[in-house]
Structure 1
């Protein structure tokens, strides 16, 4: 048995009062003389024992009456288990209100968000004024971290608005349980329509010491088609060249959608207009092409027309059309012309050549791609500079000179974190396989012939095999030997060939695969940022390597909104941490003072697009805890009833107190009543 107000037990000391009265009877007796007291003495002796019994019973009734009246004020109760509820500790009430886009839906009682506010107020109203409350929304605002009173909670509830942020049910429960409840009883309430995207399909981990109540708001399943995603098929974005993008639309309804208008705008100019039909519950991808772009940042908007849900009808994205790629060719053979012939035919590639004997290391930072071919005596200094260039995001291609000293070339390779040379093979073999899934060859062949003509190799180096997980063979030789491989190093990559560009060693430079191989390597050497980011999900942006003075800062601007990100330097790039500062979809310009560095696109999460909901039975299975209550729209959720998982005894104490007072009165009135 426990007590709600144990301090009142101190008044049990009041039982001393009737005991003292019983022990010290201060009544004065008067002597009465009789002629013969023989019979009177016998009567007095008989009545004295009965009187003593009467006094003891009266004393017991008075003591018990005092005890039970004190216990009634101490509020005793018997706990029945459950969530370990203790009324004496007070309560901490967490209330989560789903303010995602789906809560803007309207039912007979207004919007779901308005109904959620009303249900939250009803819950809070049934708790004690001394209890504390915490409000949580999808925004996870810092001001909602603190505990508030009932009046403050009402003000916070009225300020809630629909938000683009999306959270999962597990994230919400973790957020509620992250607050230290101290000695208070914890009660968690989640008020939502419980979309499938919000609930998920994995088991939910909840705090078994708290009682969790799921308050369901009745929402209707609505048809919806959303602009799901977009990605580029173009190997590089070149001025005036044709651009290819793939768009993906998703039909979330149970009926097919026909003739959905699709429009693509680039820099406020319409590029594509089409109509697409999507089967029920399916996705549709379509390739769109356009051209006529100039160099610089491009702001694109893919839009459809679909009602009644419109928040996912637009998908914003950005990309940069570069005026060219800077390529450096370091050659140890002046007669070698394959690299020059390959890149000089296109003005998009700005090729510079340096002889092996006169390499300017300070110029490396101005290039995206460095090609080494036929180096006679590569130095350790060159290896050190190339390693730093690769780690900072650069791309290097190495074609060895098979007649150079093996030990010296191996030392150079190890300086760039590449495997050393084991030996040289003079067997004539052919390349056995191309990695068609790599970003080098994934879009080169429209149809792969059954017998693909592959390069022949007359001499090649055998490199030491290791267990490096960052190696990927682009072309292989018989015996699973590498001919052309890619290695990751820091933020960049290096391609290593097993043969040279000399015709005596292989026919790779004359083979048709040589052109797309080098071109795709050049295109992929350009570091491109993602087309778009998702609000509430992506809080770390990437940018090219930026250098800031101590007093300089970067700013993200969109109209009147301005965000100052936290800058984190990483090898080859600069990371911008924005936390939850961006809450509206749009285009955000990254500014350094008045200079435009890049443009980022932010979109709402598509997790709210699926307007299907999780049933009560499925919710109960995900939790699997007895401290769970699920209340539908038509049910009454009484927090007072939920928290009373104990039996109050104060009423019984008052009844017993009255009983013993009545027993005392009856003893005094009728017990051992004398008759004369």
Structure 2
């Protein structure tokens, strides 16, 4: 039993008053003299016992009357089983409505979202007129998360729509627990279908000051196939060249799916079609090939036909087809012309050459790759400009001049955060080893035979640092030395060769591996943005460096909306923070004023695709011994359960009645319970 106003219990000290009166009853008796003591003793024994009984009964009546009167003012009540102690004042009721795509599922009562709204209105009706309510949905709208009365709550419930934003159960509980006060009656109800993807598998902690109740909306598990992801097999995209894209499909159903049509559209033109069969609960990868696309930004859509759930049947993605790749070669006076010979074979590469004596530093940002070919005396100023270029995402390839001294090259290399030259090695030709696992050699070799012809060198530099953590070997030499290695510097990368391209130093420039290696290094300088982002999950977008004035801004524009992101500049990148401003899937143009800088794609979160639901026991297991109430929406008595749960048995009326009863008992005892006087005469 609990008390609404326990402070009144101090008034129980008042029971001392009738007790004191009883103990110190100073009644004065009149003396009577009798000649026969035997008669006197008989009268005393008979009247004294009845008098004592009367006084005790009156005392008990007075004490009990005081006790129950005090209890009536203290407002005693018996709480419902498992409920926390009630505090004086109105209730604050938080209601979470799951408005994700899975709530579009139909059951006997119609749409799950509409059922959730009806149940929420039932909940509101089970509370008093002075209680307040807070509404929460997946959208985290500010207008919802504030206390309102019942009428305002019902109005907001009617406005809830299906949202593309997906959340987790832990996220929702954390949000509901914001600003919880221990001295306030707060309860929270979560109405959802409780998909397994929404619930998760991690233990969930709740605030004991907030009472949680889960109301599970029942839906049947539905078969569903989603377009999960897409990626390209090509490192770069060239105009009118063959392209290969891999699409991954997922069958979330319990039965095999056959003859699922897969279509690929690029810029609203169908480019490929396929038909697949997917086993139950499995994923499938399918490769789609196409060609004939021009330069510029491409908007791709992969689609299937799958009913009844269709929100995950399309996947939007974007990529850029570049018309050319700009390369700068800075040549020493006696440098070999191998670089020019390689990149002149393909019109896609636009090679610009500069002599070592006349370098235009301001032109560096225009190029995807800069090659230093046999520089005799690289300066510290060049190192400073190249380091800035690399840190901002550029790629640098260095072929040293072996005739130059280490004293000349080491300050330059150190300025680029590269290892210093240790010594020049000369002697018989040494064969290198290809690091076939390196990403640069992906798709270059189908198979590497044991007796493959490898590049050889007669002279090469060895470097002081052979085990740097940011280094990757591309072509290796014996004793853990390298012929070509890659170093990550800032947002870019530096490819450092240990030998020159001169024929007297080795046969690297004439070896068959040289051309594909140079192409791969050039392609690695192309920075491709992600194919797509996820609504409600991707809050930061990456873009190539965008130079903006102090008062300039960027905007993301779609056919239905316009978003102004927060901008943050980092080395080589411009980061766009969109938070939760993107509400719908589709294509968005990144614009500076009216100029389109890039195109980004957004897709709905695939976490809603798995239409399997957590059971009550699975939910309880996540909360361990925490006190969580569970309700089943199939029961029509939900509001009755809630009313009983939140309206404990109050006892103040009973206490008041008992106080009156004992006062009446006292009066009756005093008036009608008189000892019988036995008078004996002689």
Q: Distance in 1 between matches of 2:649 and 2:463?
A: 79
Cα distance change, pair 616–343 in 1 and its aligned pair in 2 (3 A): same
Shift of 1:328: 0.8
SS of equivalent residue, structure 1 residue 426: strand
Shift of 1:371: 0.7
Greater displacement, 121-130 / 412-421: 121-130
Q: Distance in 2 between matches of 1:629 and 1:113?
A: 21
What residue in structure 2 maps to residue 417 of structure 1?
A: 417
Shift of 1:561: 1.0
- 1:391-440 CA-to-partner distances (Å, cap 9, x unmatched) read 111111111122211122121111011111222322532222314242x1
CA contact (8 A) 2:247 2:286 kept: yes
Greater displacement, 50-59 / 576-585: 50-59
SS of equivalent residue, structure 1 residue 223: coil
What residue in structure 2 maps to residue 444 of structure 1?
A: 444
* TM-score scaled by length of structure 1: 0.90
What residue in structure 1 maps to residue 579 of structure 2?
A: 579
1:173 aligns with 2:162: no
Greater displacement, 584-593 / 272-281: 272-281
CA contact (8 A) 1:435 1:475 kept: no
Q: Distance in 2 between matches of 1:641 and 1:79?
A: 10
Cα distance change, pair 112–347 in 1 and its aligned pair in 2 (3 A): same
* TM-score scaled by length of structure 2: 0.90
Q: Distance in 2 between matches of 1:167 and 1:570?
A: 29
SS of equivalent residue, structure 1 residue 364: helix
What residue in structure 1 maps to residue 663 of structure 2?
A: 661
CA contact (8 A) 2:51 2:675 kept: no
CA contact (8 A) 1:224 1:252 kept: yes
Q: Distance in 2 between matches of 1:125 and 1:378?
A: 81
- Please list every run of 5 or more consecutive structure 1 residues that lacks an aligned counterpart in the other structure: 26-31
1:382 aligns with 2:382: yes
CA contact (8 A) 2:466 2:481 kept: no
What residue in structure 2 maps to residue 113 of structure 1?
A: 113
Greater displacement, 633-642 / 489-498: 633-642
Cα distance change, pair 59–506 in 1 and its aligned pair in 2 (3 A): same
SS of equivalent residue, structure 1 residue 588: strand
Cα distance change, pair 459–144 in 1 and its aligned pair in 2 (3 A): farther
Shift of 1:12: 6.7
Q: Distance in 1 between matches of 2:22 and 2:283?
A: 92
What residue in structure 1 maps to residue 431 of structure 2?
A: 430
SS of equivalent residue, structure 1 residue 459: strand
- 1:270-324 CA-to-partner distances (Å, cap 9, x unmatched) read 1112222222222221211211111111111111111111111111111111111
What residue in structure 2 maps to residue 300 of structure 1?
A: 300
What residue in structure 1 maps to residue 147 of structure 2?
A: 147
CA contact (8 A) 2:266 2:299 kept: yes
What residue in structure 2 maps to residue 232 of structure 1?
A: 232
Cα distance change, pair 6–150 in 1 and its aligned pair in 2 (3 A): farther
Q: Distance in 2 between matches of 1:556 and 1:423?
A: 54
- Please list every run of 5 or more consecutive structure 2 residues that lacks an aligned counterpart in the other structure: none
Greater displacement, 166-175 / 48-57: 48-57
- 1:301-350 CA-to-partner distances (Å, cap 9, x unmatched) read 11111111111111111111111111111111444111111112222111
Q: Distance in 2 between matches of 1:210 and 1:482?
A: 63
- 1:228-282 CA-to-partner distances (Å, cap 9, x unmatched) read 1111112211112122211111221122222211111111111112222222222
Q: Distance in 2 between matches of 1:403 and 1:222?
A: 72
What residue in structure 1 maps to residue 289 of structure 2?
A: 289
The correspondence of residues 262-273 of structure 1 with structure 2, limited to 5 A, is 262-273=262-273
Shift of 1:160: 1.3
1:99 aligns with 2:111: no
Cα distance change, pair 408–129 in 1 and its aligned pair in 2 (3 A): farther
Shift of 1:649: 5.1
Cα distance change, pair 49–675 in 1 and its aligned pair in 2 (3 A): closer
Greater displacement, 310-319 / 465-474: 465-474
What residue in structure 2 maps to residue 616 of structure 1?
A: 616
CA contact (8 A) 1:83 1:210 kept: no
Cα distance change, pair 173–500 in 1 and its aligned pair in 2 (3 A): same
Greater displacement, 478-487 / 206-215: 206-215
The correspondence of residues 211-610 of structure 1 with structure 2, limited to 5 A, is 211-427=211-427, 428-438=429-439, 440-465=440-465, 468-610=468-610
CA contact (8 A) 1:89 1:183 kept: no
Shift of 1:466: 6.2
Compute the RMSD of aligned alpha carbons: 3.4
Cα distance change, pair 173–450 in 1 and its aligned pair in 2 (3 A): farther
Cα distance change, pair 625–56 in 1 and its aligned pair in 2 (3 A): closer
SS of equivalent residue, structure 1 residue 461: strand
Q: Distance in 1 between matches of 2:479 and 2:628?
A: 62
Shift of 1:101: 0.8
Shift of 1:479: 2.4
Q: Distance in 1 between matches of 2:666 and 2:582?
A: 76
Greater displacement, 506-515 / 525-534: 506-515
Greater displacement, 222-231 / 609-618: 609-618
1:3 aligns with 2:7: no
Cα distance change, pair 454–651 in 1 and its aligned pair in 2 (3 A): farther
Q: Distance in 2 between matches of 1:640 and 1:354?
A: 84
CA contact (8 A) 1:433 1:477 kept: no
Q: Distance in 1 between matches of 2:496 and 2:335?
A: 21
SS of equivalent residue, structure 2 residue 166: coil
What residue in structure 2 maps to residue 29 of structure 1?
A: none
Q: Distance in 2 between matches of 1:476 and 1:90?
A: 75
- 1:133-182 CA-to-partner distances (Å, cap 9, x unmatched) read 32221112222332333333222222211111111122122222233334
Greater displacement, 239-248 / 16-25: 16-25
Shift of 1:463: 1.7
Q: Distance in 2 between matches of 1:82 and 1:497?
A: 73
Q: Distance in 1 between matches of 2:500 and 2:653?
A: 97
Q: Distance in 2 between matches of 1:129 and 1:490?
A: 62
